[in-house]
Copies of this chain bind each other. A is one copy, B any other.
Amino acid sequence: MAAATRSPSHAQDHILAERKRREKLSQRFIALSSIVPGLKKMDKASVLGDAIKYVKHLQEKIKQLEEQTKKRTVESVVLVKRYHLPADDDSNSSSNDDDDSKSNVEKAGCCSDSTLPEIEARASERDVMIRIHCEKQPGVLAKVLTEVESLHLSIVNSSVMPFGNSTLDITIVAQVTN
Protein backbone atom coordinates (compact mmCIF):
# COMPACT_ATOMS: atom_id res chain seq x y z
CA MET A 1 0.00 0.00 0.00
CA ALA A 2 2.56 2.49 1.12
CA ALA A 3 5.40 2.43 -1.42
CA ALA A 4 4.82 0.95 -4.85
CA THR A 5 8.08 1.92 -6.52
CA ARG A 6 10.55 0.56 -4.00
CA SER A 7 14.06 0.58 -5.30
CA PRO A 8 15.33 4.17 -5.37
CA SER A 9 17.78 3.43 -8.17
CA HIS A 10 15.12 2.36 -10.63
CA ALA A 11 13.07 5.36 -9.65
CA GLN A 12 15.47 7.58 -11.59
CA ASP A 13 14.98 5.25 -14.53
CA HIS A 14 11.35 6.12 -14.47
CA ILE A 15 12.08 9.81 -14.37
CA LEU A 16 14.51 9.50 -17.23
CA ALA A 17 12.13 7.44 -19.31
CA GLU A 18 9.34 9.92 -18.81
CA ARG A 19 11.69 12.73 -19.65
CA LYS A 20 12.61 11.01 -22.89
CA ARG A 21 8.98 10.41 -23.74
CA ARG A 22 8.15 14.05 -23.24
CA GLU A 23 11.04 15.10 -25.38
CA LYS A 24 9.88 12.82 -28.17
CA LEU A 25 6.41 14.30 -27.98
CA SER A 26 7.84 17.81 -28.11
CA GLN A 27 9.83 16.95 -31.21
CA ARG A 28 6.74 15.58 -32.89
CA PHE A 29 4.84 18.73 -32.01
CA ILE A 30 7.55 20.86 -33.54
CA ALA A 31 7.69 18.67 -36.62
CA LEU A 32 3.94 18.82 -37.02
CA SER A 33 3.80 22.57 -36.61
CA SER A 34 6.54 22.95 -39.21
CA ILE A 35 4.55 21.30 -41.98
CA VAL A 36 1.25 23.01 -41.24
CA PRO A 37 1.26 26.32 -43.08
CA GLY A 38 -0.13 29.55 -41.70
CA LEU A 39 0.26 28.73 -38.05
CA LYS A 40 -0.26 31.74 -35.82
CA LYS A 41 -0.43 30.31 -32.32
CA MET A 42 2.28 27.81 -31.53
CA ASP A 43 0.80 26.34 -28.37
CA LYS A 44 0.04 22.63 -28.43
CA ALA A 45 -3.74 22.91 -28.50
CA SER A 46 -3.65 25.31 -31.43
CA VAL A 47 -1.12 23.20 -33.30
CA LEU A 48 -3.35 20.17 -32.96
CA GLY A 49 -6.47 22.12 -33.85
CA ASP A 50 -4.98 23.76 -36.91
CA ALA A 51 -3.42 20.48 -37.97
CA ILE A 52 -6.86 18.86 -37.83
CA LYS A 53 -8.39 21.64 -39.89
CA TYR A 54 -5.52 21.47 -42.33
CA VAL A 55 -5.81 17.71 -42.81
CA LYS A 56 -9.53 18.02 -43.46
CA HIS A 57 -8.80 20.78 -45.95
CA LEU A 58 -6.24 18.66 -47.77
CA GLN A 59 -8.58 15.67 -47.88
CA GLU A 60 -11.32 17.82 -49.35
CA LYS A 61 -8.98 19.28 -51.92
CA ILE A 62 -7.77 15.85 -52.99
CA LYS A 63 -11.32 14.62 -53.33
CA GLN A 64 -12.13 17.57 -55.58
CA LEU A 65 -9.04 17.14 -57.72
CA GLU A 66 -9.63 13.42 -58.14
CA GLU A 67 -13.25 13.96 -59.14
CA GLN A 68 -12.13 16.65 -61.54
CA THR A 69 -9.62 14.41 -63.30
CA LYS A 70 -12.01 11.48 -63.25
CA LYS A 71 -14.72 13.40 -65.06
CA ARG A 72 -12.40 14.60 -67.82
CA THR A 73 -11.69 11.03 -68.85
CA VAL A 74 -15.03 9.46 -68.06
CA GLU A 75 -16.90 11.99 -70.18
CA SER A 76 -14.81 10.97 -73.15
CA VAL A 77 -14.63 7.25 -72.63
CA VAL A 78 -18.05 6.26 -71.40
CA LEU A 79 -19.43 5.96 -74.91
CA VAL A 80 -16.61 3.63 -75.85
CA LYS A 81 -17.49 1.26 -73.09
CA ARG A 82 -21.18 1.16 -73.94
CA TYR A 83 -20.99 0.83 -77.69
CA HIS A 84 -17.53 -0.63 -78.12
CA LEU A 85 -17.58 -0.81 -81.87
CA PRO A 86 -19.58 -3.93 -82.87
CA ALA A 87 -17.33 -6.72 -84.06
CA ASP A 88 -17.18 -7.49 -87.76
CA ASP A 89 -20.28 -9.53 -88.54
CA ASP A 90 -20.07 -8.52 -92.17
CA SER A 91 -19.02 -11.26 -94.52
CA ASN A 92 -17.42 -8.88 -96.98
CA SER A 93 -15.10 -7.49 -94.39
CA SER A 94 -12.41 -9.82 -95.66
CA SER A 95 -12.29 -8.00 -98.95
CA ASN A 96 -9.38 -5.93 -97.77
CA ASP A 97 -7.51 -8.66 -96.00
CA ASP A 98 -4.77 -9.03 -98.57
CA ASP A 99 -4.66 -5.31 -99.11
CA ASP A 100 -1.45 -4.50 -97.31
CA SER A 101 0.41 -6.90 -95.14
CA LYS A 102 2.58 -4.16 -93.72
CA SER A 103 -0.34 -2.32 -92.13
CA ASN A 104 -1.06 -5.24 -89.85
CA VAL A 105 2.36 -5.00 -88.30
CA GLU A 106 1.98 -1.30 -87.75
CA LYS A 107 -1.43 -1.77 -86.24
CA ALA A 108 0.13 -3.84 -83.50
CA GLY A 109 3.21 -1.69 -83.17
CA CYS A 110 2.22 1.94 -83.24
CA CYS A 111 -0.05 3.44 -80.61
CA SER A 112 -0.21 0.11 -78.89
CA ASP A 113 -1.32 1.73 -75.66
CA SER A 114 -4.90 0.67 -75.07
CA THR A 115 -6.09 4.27 -74.80
CA LEU A 116 -7.49 4.08 -78.33
CA PRO A 117 -10.08 4.68 -79.42
CA GLU A 118 -10.51 8.09 -77.85
CA ILE A 119 -14.01 9.39 -78.15
CA GLU A 120 -14.98 12.91 -77.27
CA ALA A 121 -18.50 14.24 -77.43
CA ARG A 122 -19.86 17.67 -76.78
CA ALA A 123 -23.30 19.18 -77.19
CA SER A 124 -24.61 22.65 -77.88
CA GLU A 125 -28.32 23.11 -78.15
CA ARG A 126 -29.34 20.53 -80.74
CA ASP A 127 -25.86 20.13 -82.20
CA VAL A 128 -23.68 17.24 -81.18
CA MET A 129 -20.03 16.91 -82.03
CA ILE A 130 -18.31 13.56 -81.95
CA ARG A 131 -14.61 13.18 -82.36
CA ILE A 132 -12.98 9.80 -82.60
CA HIS A 133 -9.30 9.06 -82.65
CA CYS A 134 -8.91 5.39 -83.48
CA GLU A 135 -6.88 2.81 -85.32
CA LYS A 136 -7.09 2.82 -89.06
CA GLN A 137 -9.51 0.10 -90.07
CA PRO A 138 -11.48 -0.45 -93.25
CA GLY A 139 -15.11 0.46 -92.78
CA VAL A 140 -14.83 2.29 -89.48
CA LEU A 141 -16.34 5.49 -90.81
CA ALA A 142 -19.39 3.71 -92.15
CA LYS A 143 -19.85 1.82 -88.91
CA VAL A 144 -19.53 4.94 -86.84
CA LEU A 145 -21.91 6.92 -89.01
CA THR A 146 -24.42 4.10 -88.87
CA GLU A 147 -24.11 3.97 -85.11
CA VAL A 148 -24.56 7.71 -84.82
CA GLU A 149 -27.59 7.81 -87.09
CA SER A 150 -29.24 5.10 -85.06
CA LEU A 151 -29.19 7.42 -82.05
CA HIS A 152 -31.76 10.04 -83.12
CA LEU A 153 -28.95 11.97 -84.77
CA SER A 154 -28.75 13.19 -88.33
CA ILE A 155 -25.27 13.74 -89.74
CA VAL A 156 -24.58 17.36 -90.64
CA ASN A 157 -20.91 17.06 -91.50
CA SER A 158 -18.15 14.51 -91.24
CA SER A 159 -14.43 14.41 -91.82
CA VAL A 160 -11.82 11.70 -91.73
CA MET A 161 -8.15 12.44 -91.59
CA PRO A 162 -5.28 9.99 -91.58
CA PHE A 163 -2.79 10.81 -88.87
CA GLY A 164 0.48 8.98 -88.61
CA ASN A 165 0.63 5.56 -90.18
CA SER A 166 -2.07 3.69 -88.33
CA THR A 167 -4.58 6.08 -86.82
CA LEU A 168 -7.58 8.03 -88.01
CA ASP A 169 -9.17 11.16 -86.68
CA ILE A 170 -12.89 11.28 -87.37
CA THR A 171 -14.91 14.39 -86.64
CA ILE A 172 -18.67 14.34 -86.92
CA VAL A 173 -21.26 17.01 -86.33
CA ALA A 174 -24.84 15.85 -86.05
CA GLN A 175 -28.17 17.22 -84.97
CA VAL A 176 -30.73 15.73 -82.67
CA THR A 177 -33.86 14.69 -84.57
CA ASN A 178 -37.27 15.25 -83.08
Interface residues of A (CB under 8 A from B): 21, 24-25, 28-29, 31-32, 35-36, 44-45, 48-49, 51-52, 54-56, 58-59, 61-62, 65-66, 68-69, 72, 106, 110-111, 122, 124-125, 127, 129, 131, 157, 159, 161-165, 167, 169, 171, 173
Chain B positions within 8 Å of A159 at CB level: 159, 161, 171
Which chain B residues border A32 with CB–CB below 8 Å?
48, 51-52, 55
A31 to chain B, nearest CB (A): 5
Q: Across the interface, which residues of B come within 8 angstroms of A129, CB to CB?
A: 161, 163, 169
Residues B157 and A161 in contact, CB atoms below 8 Å apart? yes
List the 10 closest A-B pairs by CB distance, nearest first.
A124-B164, A28-B48, A159-B159, A65-B65, A58-B58, A157-B161, A161-B173, A127-B164, A129-B163, A32-B52
CB contact between A45 and one of B21, B52, B127, B165 (< 8 Å): that residue:
B21
Number of copies: 2
B residues in contact with A164, CB < 8 Å? 124-125, 127
Shortest distance between the CB of A50 and any CB in chain B (Å)? 10
CB pair A173 B165 closer than 8 Å: no
Q: Which of B29, B65, B173 contacts A69 (CB 8 A)?
A: B65
A153 to chain B, nearest CB (A): 14
Inter-chain contact B62/A35, CB cutoff 8 Å: no
Taking CB atoms, residues of chain B closer than 8 Å to A163 are 122, 124, 127, 129, 173
15 residue pairs from A and B, CB less than 8 Å apart: A24-B45, A25-B48, A28-B52, A32-B52, A32-B55, A65-B66, A65-B69, A68-B69, A106-B125, A124-B163, A124-B167, A161-B173, A162-B173, A163-B173, A171-B171
